[in-house]
Structure 1
């Protein structure tokens, strides 16, 4: 396993390959190690892998770099998660540009039931801070895990309030663990690891860089069932996170604000353009997301004539019988099918009265 992990890290450090081609290489070989030990002529037979990419894999310096990264992680007790690992976030596996490798330190299950991203401007107003505090406080007992970016403003207000109420929360970094940005927020790392976690797609030694912040935002959106934008100007990182969430078919909420306030303009615009549901309170969010209390499981449809279903319909129905409720991206990932290919089948099942569409692009068996 240590040997394979070394090659997995090395694969993630080849910029010419990228995540899509890396997945393609893994699919056509048996492992990351097999990729590095294959001949260039063998790799070139894989679709879209030409001589340039095949040559990139032979670079020995990436293996040396990977060995250094792995050694640093072992000494710092940092987990290295490859995208095929069971503990790698399932929600993140569903997005097309998911990181190959994540570096994680924490105490929470990255695949637990409810993940909620809360983001906003670095220049938070008193209204934004107060609204964030109320949102987190109202979530007590909901079993929601919060995720944000450890930045100034709304982000750090999320993390601080979660710590106050002992609610698990995760911070996603825009650099390596050894280069926390802003440095002032290093003081929260111990509490984050104890009651949640910190995640980065960058090795420990990597310094934060402006180009990494949008990439960080895609992880925040990709790991979450929904994203709440508290305050945002007409441009900024919070709106980038909202765009990612919309592109990933995740629900987006926005907190409305005064029309004459600069940091309400972005939220109001999201609502105006139907890119976000208006956020009023946490209970309403739970209803929109169909987040029910523990123990309220849906019963399988009785008397269902399975022989009348098509192959695609049978696959979907079997998943819903087993899991009770699933969102569209999870169904697509489980069945290894495109969302667009599933749309017609899901619609047909709705017309037959067998399933019910729910907010947040989710589906369940109809009672």
Structure 2
């Protein structure tokens, strides 16, 4: 991205009444951020959804002055911009209407890996939650996924550390500029994160630290990934907001169930109960339901066994798929009257027996 265009992108981002959605609309209409500032006000007002109040402060010279200061900060601190129109912008985020027009990166993030998952959860994570999070990352390591989280206390830092320990790339999405780190006690992990991925944010170095920023940050965590995993959550919390955002982006959500008497399991149990998340009891349910294992099947042909012994439920599902040719997991569960969480395990067993196989899009067929 050219320096001059980045300057105008930053200036546009600095305009208080222009958010990411409006900024993209203006850039799309005018052709570039620079062209927005050079367009006549009367022409801008003809754009659908652009009113007098929105652009009332657009031509204030302060925006360019502050943009130059931020650009200077970026250059001095080796911060890389990722502009929404450039090829290096995260592909999945491009699909999100409210994604940032520009992201600021510190580190060496490689987004060519198609397997990206977000791991979120309670800040006051339990011992059991820590154990499951570490097990989750360890068992998924064979698929080499990128682990995304928010660098906060509890679940977030557990996920980042687990990724580093398993030599996986990890991305920390921050709710503040790259001139600081929160919480400060996590400063000791910064170097390892930057060596094994890096930090992303859409906040400037001059932005005031605000707790509401954490909720805004969550859209990046949800948007980067093909799936969001909630390890633990109380009845209310930022993790549930991230799950809701992921659902709104039509991404998969997984939640780890817990005892109904455990306060840190209420949120996860509610997600599952209201069918906003898949029940996650085994880490390997994730690559199975996301069809990550298809890559291995391309090199390992499946040979159908003769006279395979099947349980009554396996026979029911097999005959159903034989009749339907291929079908979605959720539809199979509904038509065969088998809970989704139970069917997922059942399908794994049937796949190992060589009698069914998964297809892209959560479809399954007989072999």
TM-score (norm 2): 0.80
Instruction: Note the C-alpha offset of 1:27.
Output: 1.2
Instruction: Note the C-alpha offset of 1:54.
Output: 3.4
Say whether the 8 Å CA contact 1:256–1:279 is kept in structure 2.
yes
Say whether the 8 Å CA contact 1:106–1:193 is kept in structure 2.
yes
- Equivalent residue number for residue 87 of structure 2: 86
Instruction: Note the C-alpha offset of 1:295.
Output: 6.5
- Equivalent residue number for residue 99 of structure 2: 98
- Equivalent residue number for residue 132 of structure 1: 133
Is 1:182 matched up with 2:195? no
- Work out which of the two has the higher radius of gyration on C-alpha atoms and give 1 or 2: 2
Relative to structure 1, the CA distance from residue 130 to residue 358 in structure 2 (aligned partners, 3 Å threshold; closer, same or farther) is same
Instruction: Write the mapping of 1:1-367 to structure 2, written as runs, cut at 5 A.
Output: 1-292=2-293, 294=295
- Equivalent residue number for residue 344 of structure 1: none
- Equivalent residue number for residue 343 of structure 1: none
Deviations 1:169-228 (A, max 9, x none): 100001011221111111111111111110001012334311101111111011110011
* 2:259 counterpart SS class: coil
Q: Distance in 2 between matches of 1:81 and 1:122?
A: 29
Relative to structure 1, the CA distance from residue 37 to residue 357 in structure 2 (aligned partners, 3 Å threshold; closer, same or farther) is farther
Relative to structure 1, the CA distance from residue 229 to residue 294 in structure 2 (aligned partners, 3 Å threshold; closer, same or farther) is same
Q: Distance in 1 between matches of 2:38 and 2:191?
A: 40
Deviations 1:15-61 (A, max 9, x none): 21212221111111121001111121222222222333333220110
- Equivalent residue number for residue 337 of structure 2: none
Instruction: Note the C-alpha offset of 1:68.
Output: 0.5
Say whether the 8 Å CA contact 2:18–2:55 is kept in structure 1.
no
Say whether the 8 Å CA contact 2:233–2:266 is kept in structure 1.
yes
Gaps of 5+ in 1: 299-355
Say whether the 8 Å CA contact 2:215–2:241 is kept in structure 1.
yes
Q: Distance in 2 between matches of 1:239 and 1:222?
A: 14
* 2:142 counterpart SS class: coil
108-117 vs 149-158, which moves further: 108-117
* 1:178 counterpart SS class: coil
> How many residue pairs are counted as aligned between the two chains?
309
Q: Distance in 2 between matches of 1:112 and 1:140?
A: 13
Q: Distance in 2 between matches of 1:55 and 1:357?
A: 54
CA root-mean-square deviation: 2.3
Q: Distance in 2 between matches of 1:111 and 1:56?
A: 39
Deviations 1:228-262 (A, max 9, x none): 10010010011111111111110000111122110
Say whether the 8 Å CA contact 1:128–1:230 is kept in structure 2.
yes
* 2:141 counterpart SS class: coil
Q: Distance in 2 between matches of 1:141 and 1:14?
A: 45
Q: Distance in 2 between matches of 1:106 and 1:363?
A: 37
Say whether the 8 Å CA contact 1:178–1:206 is kept in structure 2.
no
Instruction: Note the C-alpha offset of 1:363.
Output: 7.8
Say whether the 8 Å CA contact 2:294–2:358 is kept in structure 1.
no
Q: Distance in 1 between matches of 2:58 and 2:159?
A: 41
- Equivalent residue number for residue 324 of structure 2: none
Deviations 1:306-345 (A, max 9, x none): xxxxxxxxxxxxxxxxxxxxxxxxxxxxxxxxxxxxxxxx
Q: Distance in 1 between matches of 2:65 and 2:3?
A: 14
Relative to structure 1, the CA distance from residue 358 to residue 265 in structure 2 (aligned partners, 3 Å threshold; closer, same or farther) is farther
Instruction: Note the C-alpha offset of 1:267.
Output: 0.8
Say whether the 8 Å CA contact 1:179–1:205 is kept in structure 2.
no
Instruction: Note the C-alpha offset of 1:122.
Output: 0.4
Instruction: Note the C-alpha offset of 1:357.
Output: 9.9
TM-score (norm 1): 0.80
Say whether the 8 Å CA contact 2:289–2:362 is kept in structure 1.
no
Instruction: Note the C-alpha offset of 1:79.
Output: 0.6
Instruction: Note the C-alpha offset of 1:358.
Output: 6.0
